[in-house]
Amino acid sequence: MEEEGWSPDMALGIPLFDEAHEALAEQIKTLMHSKDEDFAAGLEQLVDCLDADFRHEETLMEAIDYPALHSHREQHARVLSKLNQLNLDDLKSCRTAVGLVLPWFHAHLATADTALAIALQMSGLDLDEAAKAN
């Protein structure tokens, strides 16, 4: 069964997050269907985009002194670490690993990012201003 890329029920109600998360989900799905010769470049781009998205979330968590910052940051670090350790000489294993990112991403959105979205909305932080700062 193929994992769906993005669906409206994944939206957190914060446009800044929702747009980035939708793009990341679609990027993962596209990478899974990429040609072998395009995989390495696509993986590098995915890692760069994930890293930027994670750093942005972590900056917002720091701004509101988010109590789950450490565990949320740890989840991000684990995914990036695993992706950075992939051996591009074994494309089958790489594709399998990337295929696991999308289900993780769905679970992460439904749990950690949902809790963060609620905390951000309750914090009163001006998310539009925070987006401009990054």
- 31 within some domain: yes
Q: Is residue 42 part of a domain?
A: yes
Per-residue pLDDT reduced to its tens digit, 13-45: 888 888 888 999 899 999 999 999 999 999 999
SS3 78: helix
- Residue 40: CATH number of its domain: 1.20.120.50
| Structure tokens, 1 | 């069964």
User: Does the residue 7 lie in any domain?
Assistant: no
Domain annotation covers residue 46: yes
**Residue 8 belongs to some domain of the structure:** no
pTM of the full structure: 0.86
Please check whether residue 1 lies inside any domain of the structure.
Answer: no
Residue 107 structural domain: 14-131
- What's the confidence (pLDDT) of residue 71? 97
pLDDT digits (tens, 9 = 90+) for 34-84: 999 999 999 999 999 999 999 999 999 999 999 999 999 999 999 999 999
Domains contained in the chain, number? 1
CB crowding 103-131: b at 16 or more within 10 Å, else e? eebbebbeebbeebbebbeeeeeebeebe
